[in-house]
Amino acid sequence: MPSALLTPRAEPGHLLPALAGGAVVLLALPVFLVAGWPIKGWALAAVLYAAVHVLDYVIARTGIGNGARVFGVFFKSIGLLVVLVVAAASDEGIAIAAVLTYALAYTCELGLSLAAYYAKQPSP
């Protein structure tokens, strides 16, 4: 008998986790303002989070096969990494703020996605 963790399920929706991650980014703004952290770091994280989701939407709507979607995810990740490395080279404070904000939003999104996936009944 296969493990419950390894049993395939239907793919859950992406909208609610993405909106929750976006809410985390928005809720981080007052924290940045009150704490005096670099607003440019928050703005970079917000722009990157929005850009990644716009690319996800475009890739999903083009109707391309799964192989092309995998390459889209790969190049999206590489692009994100390049932007953050360039930011770190110019101002590490901004890069650290952007990375931490983006990571918090992504962690929220990933957690909700996993919860939605495992809440579904296994596929027959």
* pLDDT digit string, tens, across residues 62-117: 877 777 778 888 888 999 999 999 999 999 999 999 999 999 999 999 999 999 99
Model pTM? 0.88
The ranges assigned to domains in the chain are: 15-119
Report the alpha-carbon distance of residue 99 to residue 21 in Å, rounded: 14
CA dist 90 and 23 (Å) reads 28
Distances (CA, A) of 39 to 15, 31, 42, 50: 27, 10, 5, 16
Question: Which candidate, 103, 100, 82, 98, places its Cα nearest to that of 38?
Answer: 98
CB 109 within 8 A of CB 29: no
pLDDT tens digits, residue range 9-42?
888 888 999 999 999 999 999 999 999 999 999 9
